[in-house]
Amino acid sequence: MTETAKNGAAEIDESEILLECRDLVKTFHRGVFRRRKIEALRGVNLKVRRGDVYGFLGENGAGKTTTVRCLIGLTPISGGRIVVFGQENPRPETLFQKVSYSPEETNIFTGLTGRELLVIYGRLYGVEKNKLTRRIDEVLETVNLVEAADRYISGYSKGMRQRIGLAQAILSEPELIILDEPARGLDPVGRRRFRDVINEYASKGTTFFINSHTLSEVEKTCNRIGIIKKGRVIRELAPRDLEKTNDYEICYQAPAPLPESAPRDRLHVIRALDTLELSEICARIDEIGGRVESVARGRVSLEDYFIKVVGDEEVVL
Amino acid sequence: MKVLIIAKYSWLRMARSHYLKAFWAMAFFVFLAVSATNTSAQTVAGKMGSVETGVKVARLCIWLAAIWVGMSGLSGEINSLTARTLFTKPIKRFSLVLGILIGGFFYIALIQTVLTLEIFALARIREIPLGTELFVLQFSYLPPIFAILALAQLLSILMPKPLTGFFMLGLSYEGFWDYFANGFEVSEHIILSVALRVVYYLTPTYSRFIMQYQQFVKLPFPLGNWLLHSGSCVLYAVVCCTIAVLILKQKDI
């Protein structure tokens, strides 16, 4: 784990921690004689506080889904510890009274109607029958599926399946909700609604752990972000930390632009990470006979930061 | 109660699966075909023969359906990844596994009931005197069916579906595993014979053999024997479910 990730974890008040992974290791054994080892997680450390909306980012194959599956007990861990609500390896019947999980849209049985699915899951959560009907109506209203409630899920669009997954996750009003790729397949209106639902529940004190590829959504929704690479959490940060970077955006004119610059209108744009790099780039623009039009303090987008961090771990906030 | 909720879920899953709808159609048409081919029989013996054929076809259908349902219940959940949603609900794993099994069993019991009633309806139409014994006998096969389902469910999470099907054809009630196990001379093929016996002892066939033919505990009334046999089948299913839960704890879902 890097210093930044370590520091991020150290700042957290221990009493507020809802979910914690300590040196989480998961090794898959593959092949006929299970001799081929695949180290999916190589010491994941992360802490989620009460009330956090925690975004979990990583490349394909970095270990995001494996981490989630370990957290909710769908996969036995090979090493390390998982502590949820102060309990190490809690039993499913007690754990899932407080925690709910929304899988990817393909992981819901499609032979039921939306309402039937919610009735079955609501009964499993132990919601009383008379309260359940009212609660299901509320939840369907929240995810905008009232009209489609009595249709089979097999006839739902991808976005609707995501929303019914979200509906079953918030049905029991749990303290911690783990969402796996929740924004996948949602149109802009659906994404906005999804964000509103998360904000609404987060304002009530619900904690979210969101495993996602959609960086823009994570940036807008989450107050803390963890980035995993090759089975290790390499960064933990808050989106506001991105504003603290010494990033500069240089717009310039030149007959032949510098190779790392991008076109914008009739100008070329290039980024400098600090003042030293800024002066170097200005000198290079001079050399090629160009003219600097403007220099502005920039804000690194989460996407830029993610690509830099995943490609090169040396970037320091 | 949660077991029953899962059983209902499992029932709905079975009822709305296309392959089981196809199975219903197949069972119905096979039965119609059997009854149609025997309409020429005029004697009581001939008519009885057609009923017996119908009963055998019904049993075969139930047997195949039990294997199929057992194989596609729990492992179907895991393979289609819907288990990821179901297994993250506040319910004990054992209750979950048992609930899926019970749902499948009720579904098979429904098929059994419909087919048995079909046989009796046909017999009534063709004026064949059928006693209640046959009716009771048909339903007395349900406890071993429960054991078959549990065994199929257990095997299906251990191995791929085709292999499970192969083993189940041999292991289940009317299978041929006992034939192989008893067919070898122990002195000539010790290893093979022992291996076959080990598998044979795991089968519902063996359980039936003990309870119905050897009868360690002889009760003075037949219902008692049947209850004892049924109890052993339920115990067998519970053991299978317990082993399945232990395997699932080590399995990546």
The predicted structure's pLDDT at residue A73:
87
pLDDT digits 0-9 by tens, A130-147: 899 999 999 999 888 999
Using a CB-CB distance cutoff of 8 angstroms, which residues of chain A are in contact with residue B17?
Answer: 111
Q: Which of A117-121, A130-134, B16-20, B206-210 has the lowest mean pLDDT?
A: B206-210
Q: How far is B100 from chain A (nearest CA, A)?
A: 14
pLDDT digits 0-9 by tens, B76-105: 889 888 888 889 999 999 999 999 999 999
Candidate from B13, B80, B91 with C-beta closest to A124: B91
Q: Find the closest chain B residue to A177 by CA distance.
A: B88
Give the B-side interface with A, CB within 8 Å. Answer: 2, 5-6, 8-9, 12-13, 16-17, 80-82, 84-85, 87-93, 249-253
The predicted structure's pLDDT at residue B171:
66
What's the Cα-to-Cα distance from A231 to each of A18, A63, B37, rounded to whole Å?
22, 5, 66
The predicted structure's pLDDT at residue A38:
87
pLDDT digits 0-9 by tens, A278-287: 888 999 998 8
**Closest by CA position to A167, among listed A234, A94, A113:** A113
The predicted structure's pLDDT at residue A7:
42
The pTM (predicted TM-score) of the whole model is: 0.79
The predicted structure's pLDDT at residue B206:
60
**Phi first, then psi: what are they for B186, rounded to 5°?**
-60, -40
Do the chains contact at A76 and B250, CB–CB below 8 Å? yes
Is the confidence at residue A8, as pLDDT, over 60? no
The predicted structure's pLDDT at residue A6:
41
> Alpha-carbon torsion A252, A256, A261, A262, what sign?
positive
Rounded to whole angstroms, the Cα distance separating B181 from B190 reads: 11
pLDDT digits 0-9 by tens, B216-253: 445 556 666 677 777 878 888 999 999 999 999 888 88
| Residue B36: exposure state from Cβ atoms within 10 A (0-12, 13-18, ≥19) | exposed
**Partner B contacted by A85 (CB < 8 A):** no
Longest distance between any two alpha carbons in chain A, whole Å: 77
Pairing between strand A207-211 and A176-180? Answer: parallel
Is the confidence at residue B58, as pLDDT, over 90? no
Using a CB-CB distance cutoff of 8 angstroms, which residues of chain B are in contact with residue A161?
Answer: none
The predicted structure's pLDDT at residue B215:
45
- Residues of chain B with pLDDT > 90, as a percent, come to 17
Is the confidence at residue B184, as pLDDT, over 80? no
Strand partners, A19: A48, A84
Q: B114 falls in which pLDDT band (50, 70, 90)?
A: confident
Q: Find the closest chain B residue to A74 by CA distance.
A: B253
